[in-house]
């Protein structure tokens, strides 16, 4: 996965071992959009009034920066898995804090590569890993997940929000309509346009990355 200045995430990970704070900051900044999606998948509707996904992201990045010397992974996949684990732990802590119990599951963590599916067909979810995924296929999938997260971050706010609510939080269209102050048909049309725009943005970024 290439960052904005054409330095790969794998290269940043390797260079961050040199204890350069600026490189470490760039490494985690490149993962911020990815973590934003995972955080929203964890923050259920009932918790949103008290916890913003950005709180989980910030806490996760702070802990990752602090604990990076103890991270021994060498690949993008290992880094992302480590970040997801930290975020998951923080989400559970938020639940225990606000609910006083952890009996309720902390959201449904949706695979990033399934975000652009439409519920009946896989769409871009064809990137999902198979049980027999090879190391090279896993690397490609992680690169595509990061690209997809970055593509989503480029969408207009209402497009991004309707995708988050529908595809990550699995909310019914009627609930989304009430949340966004729109009619259900309007929300369904908005979601369709948002998915189309996400696919176009992703494909453009992917072609630039391949080039």
| Residue 102, SS3 per DSSP | coil
- Residue 137: give the domain boundaries: 111-211
Please tell me the predicted confidence (pLDDT) of residue 150.
87
pLDDT digits (tens, 9 = 90+) for 67-87: 999 998 888 888 988 998 999
User: Could you tell me which residue, 118 or 82, shows the higher pLDDT?
Assistant: 82
Q: What angle do CA 79, 85, 91 make, to 5 degrees?
A: 135
Q: How many domains does the chain have?
A: 2
The candidate with the shortest Cα–Cα distance to 21, out of 84, 85, 66, 55, is: 66
- Put residue 69 in one of left, alpha, beta given phi > 0 → left and psi -120 to 50 → alpha: alpha
CA distances from 152 to 21, 63, 92, 158, 178 (A): 28, 25, 25, 11, 23
- 1 with 103, same domain: the answer is yes
Q: How far apart are CA 128 and CA 199, in angstroms?
A: 16
CATH code for the domain in which residue 14 is found: 1.10.1740
- 105 with 144, same domain: the answer is no
- 104 with 117, same domain: the answer is no
- 143 with 64, same domain: the answer is no
- 135 with 71, same domain: the answer is no
Asked if 163 and 194 touch (Cβ cutoff 8 Å), the reply is yes
The residue written with tokens 């992302």 in the block is: 80
Asked if 145 and 139 touch (Cβ cutoff 8 Å), the reply is no
Among residues 109, 128, 147, the one where a domain terminates is 109
- 69 with 172, same domain: the answer is no
- 13 with 56, same domain: the answer is yes
Residue 12 token pair: 């940043």
Whole-prediction pTM value? 0.67
Asked if 115 and 41 touch (Cβ cutoff 8 Å), the reply is no
Please tell me the predicted confidence (pLDDT) of residue 55.
82
Mean pLDDT of the chain: 75
Asked if 110 and 41 touch (Cβ cutoff 8 Å), the reply is yes
Side-chain-side CA neighbours of 148 within 13 Å: the count stands at: 26
- 199 with 210, same domain: the answer is yes
pLDDT digits (tens, 9 = 90+) for 159-200: 999 998 888 778 899 999 999 999 999 999 999 999 999 999
CATH code for the domain in which residue 138 is found: 1.10.10.10
Q: How far apart are CA 171 and CA 11, in angstroms?
A: 38
């Amino acid at each position: 996965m290439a960052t904005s200045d054409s330095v790969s995430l794998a290269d940043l990970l390797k260079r961050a071992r040199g204890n350069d704070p600026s490189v470490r900051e760039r490494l985690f900044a490149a993962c911020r959009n990815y973590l934003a999606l995972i955080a929203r998948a964890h923050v259920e509707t009932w918790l949103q009034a008290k916890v913003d996904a950005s709180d989980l992201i910030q806490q996760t990045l702070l802990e990752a920066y602090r604990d990076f010397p103890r991270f021994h992974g060498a690949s993008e996949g290992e880094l992302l898995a480590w970040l997801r684990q930290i975020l998951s732990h923080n989400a559970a802590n938020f639940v225990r804090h606000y609910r006083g119990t952890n009996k309720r599951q902390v959201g449904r963590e949706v695979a990033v590569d399934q975000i652009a599916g439409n519920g009946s067909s896989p769409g871009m979810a064809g990137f999902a890993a198979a049980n027999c995924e090879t190391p090279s296929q896993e690397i490609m999938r992680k690169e595509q997940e990061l690209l997809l997260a970055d593509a989503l971050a480029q969408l207009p706010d209402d497009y991004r929000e309707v995708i988050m609510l529908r595809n990550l939080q699995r909310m019914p269209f009627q609930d989304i309509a009430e949340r966004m102050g729109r009619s259900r048909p309007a929300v369904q049309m908005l979601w369709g346009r948002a998915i189309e725009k996400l696919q176009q943005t992703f494909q453009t970024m992917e072609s630039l990355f391949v080039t």
